[in-house]
């Protein structure tokens, strides 16, 4: 039987891809259909893989949600503890970004 999700380090990924389960779950929660998920993440390669990732999430929702919450907390702690960019740097970055 095929495994659709694998743990790498502290994260969960769609097996055999660089696509995080968090990315798939995020779009799924927003209402993206499996067909849209496949368009957004062509590395998933097939609807079977998309459905497998979704099924894994639904079958393991408390564990996956806890893992995603932990990742989100770590990201927030990183942002809270990161040094502010050097003065004037953000203005330079904003000027290089396309508007619209």
- Chain-centroid distance of CA 45 in Å reads 17
Whole-angstrom Cα Rg for the chain: 17
* 6-42 residue pLDDT tens: 998 878 999 999 999 999 999 999 999 999 999 999 9
Q: For tokens 């067909």, what's the residue?
A: 35
Q: Which domains does the chain have, with CATH numbers?
A: 5-70 (1.10.10.10)
Among 72, 53, 67, smallest CA distance to 6 is for 53
Global pTM value: 0.70
Burial label, 99 (beta-carbon count in 10 A; 0-12, 13-18, 19+): exposed
Residues facing 20 on adjacent strands = 13
């Amino acid at each position: 039987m095929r495994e659709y999700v694998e743990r790498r380090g502290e994260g969960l990924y769609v097996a055999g891809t660089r696509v995080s389960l968090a990315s798939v779950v995020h779009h799924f929660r927003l209402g993206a259909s499996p067909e849209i998920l496949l368009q957004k993440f062509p590395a998933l390669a097939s609807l079977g893989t998309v459905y497998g990732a979704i099924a894994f999430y639904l079958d393991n929702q408390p564990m996956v949600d806890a893992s995603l919450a932990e990742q989100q907390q770590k990201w927030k702690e990183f942002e809270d503890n990161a040094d502010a960019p050097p003065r004037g740097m953000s203005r330079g970055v904003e000027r290089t970004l396309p508007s619209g």
